[in-house]
Amino acid sequence: MSSDRSAPPDRPAPQVRLRPAGPADEEWVLALNLAEEARLSPTDPARLAYLRSRADRLDVVEVDAVPVGFVVTFTPDADYDSANFRWFRQRYGDAFCYLDRIALLPTVRRRGVASRVYDELEAAAATRGRMVLEVNLLPPNPGSLAFHTRRGYAEVGRLGDEEHLVVLLTKDLPG
């Protein structure tokens, strides 16, 4: 008996879209943030409302119209209490866009979704000259650090202590 072991037909690339998070997304965003808390800052409903009121973007990432993640960005004029954000503002004035957090479901990782999200975020940030962010060193997040290095982000500093340490990264963007 013979069998046809040919490759499956090419599947179309998933449609990745960012859309503003609405009130109906709050529970889902909080649940994903909690699941990824080792890589992100803790967030409860009050903190999410605080972020939403100050963020330039709090977007849900969708793949083929299904929520798979979220992002939060800030512009330099935000009244934001993050020490990492303040560090960048002191050094770059108004010439940056700060990616505070990105969280994606494990099922979409390593499938090009993050790259497509970053393409959109970096295009939007280009008018400010650079995208800035931090990646955990303690606890370690080597996958994120490797991803950002591949995308051209460079270390410009470190903040933290022996329990929590981040590397501060920046990428100059053509404007």
The confidence score (pLDDT) of residue 109 equals 86
Q: Work out the pLDDT band at 11, boundaries 50, 70, 90.
A: low
Q: Answer whether 0.95 is exceeded by the pTM.
A: no
Q: Which domains does the chain have, with CATH numbers?
A: 16-128 (3.40.630.30)
Looking only at the bridges linking them, the beta strands covering 97-104 and 130-138 are parallel
User: What is the SS3 assignment for 142-153?
Assistant: HHHHHHHHHCCC
What value does the mean pLDDT take over residues 125-144?
Answer: 94
Q: How far apart are CA 60 and CA 104, in angstroms?
A: 10
